[in-house]
Structure 1
Amino acid sequence: MQTKPSSPSPVAGEGDGLARLAGQGAVVLALAGTLAACGGGGGSSSPSPSPNGGGATPVPSPVPTLPPQLAPSAQQAARFLAQASTGADTAQLTRVQAIGYAAWIDEQMALPQSMSRCDWLASKSFDTAGNKNGMNGFDACAWRKLIASPDTLRQRVTLALSELLVVSINGLSGGWRAFAAANYLDILENNAFGNYRTLLQQVSTSAAMGEYLTFRGNVKYNAKTGAFPDENYARELMQLFTIGLLQLNADGTPRLVNGKTQETYTLDDITGLARIFTGWDWDLSVGNGNTPDFQRRPMVQVAARHETGASTFLGATVPAGLDGAASLNAALDIIFAHPNVAPFVSRQLIQRLVTSNPSPAYVQRIAAVFNNDGSGVKGNLRAVIRALLLDDEARNSATAAQTGFGKLREPILRLTAWARAFGATSPSDAWAIGDTSDPATRLGQSPLRSSSVFNFFRPGYVPPNSAIATAGLVAPEFQITNESSVLGYINYMQLAIGTGISDIKGQYASLLALVDNPAALVAQANLLLAANQLGANTVSLLQNTIAGMPTGTDATRNNRVYAAILLTMAAPEYLVQK
């Protein structure tokens, strides 16, 4: 059984965005009675190879167990993991309860990184000549990390960074695109708990970014033709990756002068900065592009193409006579010193992990850590992520109950939440999920496949003609939400839950043990997926629906499990992460 989406119509354009989405969820819940007639595949499979290259998942070092009075409840642990992971099973919940939030974060940050995406592609022979002009293997290596890598916090932060420092494989046209995109994600992962200044350096010399924002092959001003250097990357580096369009206070609010906002840069600043990004090109010194190795190496300088004159922007000057590498270092230091960087980046990281509308005080606290990690270091992402997740605004249950708190779960994280909660693996290690960008038949979002450098959704997006707009709030993820995508997601997840995606199937033994007790079955799905945030009416509807479904055979028992999971994932209280 599949529901047919109606003609696409923006959800947010018809009244309150959250309420409208809730209405869509209610429609899907109302279809529950027909689920008994839906077929479904088996729910068991053998474990897939560990993503670290075949070895066992690393065993955490012993950490003192918290006394019961200090331990988070199961609901609190599940809510924390919704913010700090790409999905959690009962073992992760138990671990957070046993050692607490801070120790779990430290434990996750200490985990070794699993096999890189590029190494995995090579291990599967995607580096052979037949793959030079395609994207084969990229989606698999991206989903594999999100679903199966033990360092789930690092993967969540990597996803967040990929939506701030945006590259899209769809915007790459050179050879070995899969390796270019995979290496870009590897760079983000390598720096997820590192320093943002270092990350900017590596992003600015990455082969993928050089191609995506068109400064690879960029040349200095040509006096004969009047051609100026390409300004694309200079503009987006400032606007999207570091300081934004408007000058900010320390709490992320716009700084006003005589009641008016102030721009951070002008066209002259873009022109001045663009001179820095001349002379950079792929490193084809080995292999001449016939192998994907150059996509894994930083770009190099072609001295004859680099502008060696002085470059002035943001009120500072990179002096004349420097080579390309030295000019880049000096330019990034100037940008990184800008007071906007801390609140601009901190607010977007909060949005990606915790809530779309953080209070100015929350932003200011995290920006203060960004500016000084306690040891005088600016840009320490390890300290920033730790502070962000442990902040009272993130952890306080009373804050979570406020109407304006929370965020719409982006579709990628809905799929990974199911996969991790129920141990979905790929026994073949093929991870054949593919591109899930189609909103009508799949998720409407897929890793590193945004339609533009502005990401899948803008951080300041406001659904038009909605109660969200009236309240002065933003709701970024609603920019990719409409009636077609809501129903497309449900149809896609129905198939994923019941029959799997290729050989990627959930493991439902624990739920099958509860299948004759609808209340217990719904409670377990509610905890693992929605952190016990389904309302009483939703819980009652789900319980009654499942109680009315046949049982007694393997097929009917499986259908009860599939219904409990699907209807939980359709509920508005699940779709809105609180």
Structure 2
Amino acid sequence: MKPAHPPNPAQRPDRPGRRALMQQGLGALAALGLPAGAPAAQADARLAPAGLRLDRSAAARWLGFCTFGPTEEEIEAVHRIGPAAWLDQQLDAPPSRSVTEWIDRKGPPGREDARQSPHFDTRLQAIDWKCIWAPDAVRQRVSYALSQIFVVSEVGADRIANPYAYAHFWDLLNAGATGNFRQLIEDVSASLDMAFFLTYLNNRKADEATGRQPDENYARELMQLFTIGLWELEEDGSQRLDADGRPIPTYGQQDIVELARVFTGFYSDGPRRDGVRLAFGIENHGLYGPAAWSRRLSVKADEHAPESTTALKGRVRIPAGTEAYTALGRTLDALFKHPSCPPFIALNLIRRLSTSNPSPAYVRRVVAAFKDNGQGQRGDMKAVLRAVFLDPELFDPPSDRPFGRMTEPYVSTIALARQLGAHCDAEQQRFAGLWHHKRFASQRPFTAPTVFNFNQPDFAPQGPIQQAGLVAPELQNCDEYGATLRFNGVGALCEGLPMTPELLERLATPAHDAELLDRYALQLCGKTLPARDRAALLAELAKLPRGRDATAARTQRLTVLASMVWFITVHPENIVRQ
């Protein structure tokens, strides 16, 4: 039987201190610019030692960086075998069922439903399923971070209703998360989703007679957002400066013009829905059959620019008449080997996964892993992720700079679902649909408003953070309006908390409230609430009615549980993961 839903905890007028809590939350988020006050880490260590063991609280905190939120089983595993061994198991785990296959087979492994007809929500459920239930939890969390670097978006696109659009893109991010970065940027560049989004699908060569020039969109964003950034970087992530103390651009407009030629002639050859091959120039996505979305782009040779290309201070040299994929390979090789690529990607991953303001030493260690995995291989993502997640600063943050980052709404949403099954059919392992995600304001994958993502990685709000030379990317979406959306969205999510018979019994009186509160706080946030707030919440929960008859009991006890979980999730010290 479907549980009754309590009033939205974030909207109840009688919920004590909601306005004060919101103000506290915004203040605590701004406090990201203050030093964390933890002991300094050893700067010369490359990774946390393999024999490192963590207590359950420390294990839960660490798992909050590399998963969408730890399960009880994951906390116990990290506590038992240590973070290094657990991470190795995750990085070597076989990929879970792909989103494309999930759609084809109409459900997750063992829970396929032949009655399902694939539609837009099917893709949402497939990606959510992977983030909630798939055993390769680290791969999914890293894929979400990568989706915020290699941005494609359904916002404003008429492809939103096609269940296969964007499905393969999550699959290739899954592969790239534990593969090689060089292969990842090639897979992204050969993707139909990216070609549609950044407008180089059916991109034609120059025509002097009409004045037509190749579309420059992807050439620009490939450099600016996906590989080397706007400015040359030192290996600690700082900008390189010229003799006059000015930052050095990585590329100029002429580089964009030259490289735009590389991305001409690419199209999808299908198949169409009727089985006929697609032709160059077809933009109507409604004709594209399911297999087209996972098919590597083809090339129409006579639409590929025949001119020679020289760019990036001679790093890219492509002779006239070079075949399109060969030209693409030479371009990607040059970007991959560019000195700014390792620090640019290292900074992006660290800021999306662990801390907004990493120390120069932390960045250098991740850059070193990108440049050489210990066996002479560049771009090994497993080595990069070991460096990101096993850096000493994650376990022992430095005292001379802030450590941590604000947790994005989608991460909080999936964390709740992983822990409590909120808004899902646990028996069928299906999560919420589009309407729910909109209500949660969840920033789910592929819904960024622009190619620059939901927020820019170097965003610094005016005030103390900017004055200190720090950044706080997620604060770009967290004005009072954004905070209200988030608080109300979490409240809406808490309406869907399932009430098991065990929980019904344990919530019958306040006797077990403290135990449940601490357990959920540990799993959702890696720490218990501050003593004063914990005591105040327990006192308020004790006043709530619990119900005696079966109908009232379920409704009222669900209100107690929802209030508890909402308070934990929106508490300012928990929104900022440190």
Give the TM bin, normalised by the shorter chain. 0.7 to 0.9
2:268 maps to which of 247, 259, 282: 282
Which amino acid letter does the alignment assign opposite residue 481 of structure 1?
C
CA contact (8 A) 2:106 2:117 kept: no
Distance 2:151 2:448 in 1: 8
Aligned to 2:27: 19
CA contact (8 A) 1:170 1:451 kept: yes
2:148 equivalent to 1:150 = no
1:82-102 deviation per Cα after TM superposition (whole angstroms, max 9, x unaligned): 001012121111011001001
Structure 1 residue 394, shift from structure 2 partner = 1.3
Deviates more, 1:469-478 or 1:237-246: 469-478
Aligned to 1:450: 448
Aligned ranges 1:24-103 → 2 under 5 Å:
71-103=53-85
Aligned to 1:273: 259
Change (3 A) 1:267 1:140: same
Aligned ranges 1:57-456 → 2 under 5 Å:
71-124=53-106, 135-173=120-158, 177-257=162-242, 258-284=244-270, 287-288=275-276, 289=287, 291-316=289-314, 317-396=317-396, 398-399=397-398, 404-423=402-421, 425-426=424-425, 427-434=427-434, 438=438, 441-456=439-454
Aligned to 2:533: 538
Which amino acid letter does the alignment assign opposite residue 447 of structure 2?
R
CA contact (8 A) 1:435 1:446 kept: no
Distance 1:131 1:314 in 2: 49
Which amino acid letter does the alignment assign opposite residue 342 of structure 1?
P
CA contact (8 A) 2:120 2:160 kept: no
For residue 377 of structure 1, give the secondary structure of its aligned residue in structure 2: coil
Aligned to 2:35: none
CA contact (8 A) 1:138 1:178 kept: yes
1:107-135 deviation per Cα after TM superposition (whole angstroms, max 9, x unaligned): 11222222111111222399x9x999x74
CA contact (8 A) 2:29 2:475 kept: no
CA contact (8 A) 1:533 1:573 kept: no
Aligned to 1:480: 477
CA contact (8 A) 1:279 1:301 kept: yes
Change (3 A) 1:223 1:22: closer
Aligned to 1:524: 519
Change (3 A) 1:339 1:458: same
Which amino acid letter does the alignment assign opposite residue 80 of structure 1?
W
CA contact (8 A) 1:512 1:557 kept: no
Which amino acid letter does the alignment assign opposite residue 341 of structure 1?
C
Structure 1 residue 360, shift from structure 2 partner = 1.3
2:468 equivalent to 1:471 = yes
Change (3 A) 1:301 1:116: same
Structure 1 residue 236, shift from structure 2 partner = 0.1
Structure 1 residue 242, shift from structure 2 partner = 0.4
Change (3 A) 1:167 1:107: same
For residue 241 of structure 1, give the secondary structure of its aligned residue in structure 2: helix
**TM-score (norm: length of structure 1):** 0.83
Aligned to 2:36: none
Structure 1 residue 136, shift from structure 2 partner = 4.5
For residue 165 of structure 2, give the secondary structure of its aligned residue in structure 1: helix
Structure 1 residue 381, shift from structure 2 partner = 0.5
Change (3 A) 1:511 1:156: farther
**TM-score (norm: length of structure 2):** 0.83
Aligned residues: 517
Structure 1 residue 525, shift from structure 2 partner = 1.9
For residue 312 of structure 1, give the secondary structure of its aligned residue in structure 2: strand
Distance 1:175 1:169 in 2: 5
2:486 maps to which of 489, 495, 517: 489
1:445-492 deviation per Cα after TM superposition (whole angstroms, max 9, x unaligned): 12211011001110011123x322232211111112232332333333
For residue 164 of structure 2, give the secondary structure of its aligned residue in structure 1: helix
Structure 1 gaps, min length 5 = 24-65
Structure 1 residue 423, shift from structure 2 partner = 4.6
CA contact (8 A) 2:261 2:309 kept: yes
CA contact (8 A) 1:443 1:488 kept: yes
Structure 1 residue 430, shift from structure 2 partner = 4.2
Deviates more, 1:427-436 or 1:308-317: 427-436
Change (3 A) 1:285 1:444: closer
CA contact (8 A) 1:511 1:561 kept: no
For residue 310 of structure 2, give the secondary structure of its aligned residue in structure 1: strand
CA contact (8 A) 2:356 2:404 kept: yes
For residue 283 of structure 1, give the secondary structure of its aligned residue in structure 2: coil
2:457 maps to which of 447, 456, 459: 459
Aligned to 1:58: none
For residue 261 of structure 1, give the secondary structure of its aligned residue in structure 2: coil
CA contact (8 A) 2:146 2:173 kept: yes
Which amino acid letter does the alignment assign opposite residue 522 of structure 2?
L
Change (3 A) 1:435 1:299: farther
Deviates more, 1:416-425 or 1:335-344: 416-425
For residue 187 of structure 1, give the secondary structure of its aligned residue in structure 2: helix
Structure 2 gaps, min length 5 = 1-6, 14-18, 32-48, 277-286
Distance 2:256 2:130 in 1: 36
Change (3 A) 1:261 1:348: same
